[in-house]
Structure 1
Amino acid sequence: MFFSIIIPLYNRPQEIKELLQTLTAQTYTQFEVLVIEDGSVNDAKNVVATFANRLDIRYFAKPNEGQGFARNYGFGKAKGDYFIVFDSDCLIPENYLETVRNYLYEHPLDAFGGPDGAHTSFTAVQKAISYSMTSPFTTGGIRGNKKGIGQFHPRSFNMGISREVWEKTGGYIITRLGEDIEFSIRIHKMGFKIGLIPKAIVYHKRRTNFISFYKQLHFFGRARINIYKFFPGELKLVHFFPAVFTLGVFMTIILNFAYPPLGKLFDIFFAVYILLIFFHSLIQNKSVKVALLSIIASVIQLTAYGLGFMQDMWKRVIINKK
């Protein structure tokens, strides 16, 4: 079984260096790496060249079209039986490919994904952000969780497809704003077998500060409405939770001034919710600092997503502005 690893890249030479370093340590070595430079100004050509003697690696530079179409470009150049896509801000455990190979032999799949987590080298903020993006108290357990809510949709930070899937789907049809979810849904609808490989974990750095994290999650909220425009039936109740939470925050502030008795009830609800996040993160991360930062990250995750979701729900659904 031969794997082609496709990594789209845009102005992140340091990130790709760290990712490629982890790939040199893979225990299963039947793979190639394709780095697709998507119109970067600060390119990674020289960085990639330093790995030429340690990896079966190829570098391609193309005009900027976005990460979805950059992945398609890589698919078109790939030699593997399976294509695996990673984001450039991921670190890959040394047994990742071996884990995937063994799982696919026992449980054949056409497409697959795996969970993400926080590496021990991550900063406290990165660990808090990782917690907020994987916690059942913020995402409904729908990311990388076999027992989660809803159909499993592999995400492009850790996603694999067979050559047949690429040939029959044509890959990504949009290049941003939920392109990986749209692709996953389309794979499902074409009848391919998709599954989660629970032990195929990657360490996903995501954003390194709360400001950039807010911007990213606001974008994700908008992306969910973009997916709705393609597949209306894929908008589930769980996707409204961040918007409900955000409205609840504003309502709590208003009620504390306008009608304090009711405002206090809302205060109690949010206090209990925050304590749940704190203690769950504390148990998981074994750090008071990370647990406290997890509260901030979780509130940002929900409100940023909720605001982006409501913004495009109003613009693109309610008033139907293109």
Structure 2
Amino acid sequence: MKILFTVGGSQAAVFGVAPLAAAARNAGHEILLAADEPLMDAARSVALPAVCITPERMRYGQDALTATDRIDALLEVTRQWTPDLVVGGLSHVPRLLAARLKIPFVRHIWYIAPMARRDRTAVAELQPQLERLGLSGLPEPDLFVDLCPPALRPPAAPAAQSMRWVPRVSQRRLEPWMYTRPEGRRRVLITAGTRNLMLDTPGSSLRRMVDTLTEAGAEVLIAALPEAAERHRAELGAVRIGWIPLDVVAPTCDLAVHHGGATTAMTLIHAGVPQLIHPDNGYGRAVAEAVSGYGAAVLVDGHRPGPGQDPHEQTAAACRDLLDNPSYAQRARTLAAHSAELPTPDDVLRRIEALAAR
């Protein structure tokens, strides 16, 4: 079978689809990843064969603005490499492609934020493309694969095939401190993922956060893009900063402070690590609300501080609470255990194979 995987947006989309794509490849299927130019390096880093379809990064909610170019590029790819099935994510363009080719479509996403209204808007905006391609409508996905643990899904989320999160990130040569816990100290990881250079903490500074944690006796690691590490290393003192593979370091951490990104949050959930989430957009806030609602995280929104509240003091108090109150670690471990019981990518692949065999 030939499976076309399609992604757009951030590197998280590549990392999220990589385990299923690798499972398909290991099972003997041919795979191809169609992605935006800014995602080519991420695809190469996780060993996915990828072809560029657009020069710029696609953003969710911009289907109508980029649909013509993306559809034409995908149609050109499929004229040269004919798939038996299409796997897509947040964008509905791959779904339209599958309808045009009359082959099964699998939607593969992390459904933690309510998106029904945004989906309806996106589908309505694609109406001109439906007419252009001679399609009467956009059918429902043949299979909906959700990476979000059932306990964190929104109440109105559609029925889906759950799949276990398997961490995938760009790697580097490892050093022992990355995969071992420090003796006699707790470890706190700070990261803004791959989309931002540094964690945005309004009203405060990263240095103040680091000082607060080190004064409490914690070892602080900052996982950051190389360009961010080079820019901020001098001002942060004796702190390890740079590209640290999150899947390797997460199991050694007692707390992680981050922005609410999908890859970051799910890799920490997989490792059973309590989280302090500073959301930098509405999606990150939905992530923070879901994980904190389960009791495995604390949400601190520096963009919306309460009356008389200092964002830095909020963060400091939340860090102390997360490190000293064992209930957060217990809930994080419980969530990790439930997630580990979900079907693997190999299990889900068997359902996908059955679709193509109809």
TM-score by shorter chain over 0.5? no
**What TM-score range do you get, normalising by the shorter chain?**
0.3 to 0.5
Higher relative contact order structure (alpha carbons within 8 Å, sequence separation ≥ 6): 1
Per the normalisation by structure 2, the TM-score is: 0.30
Per the normalisation by structure 1, the TM-score is: 0.33
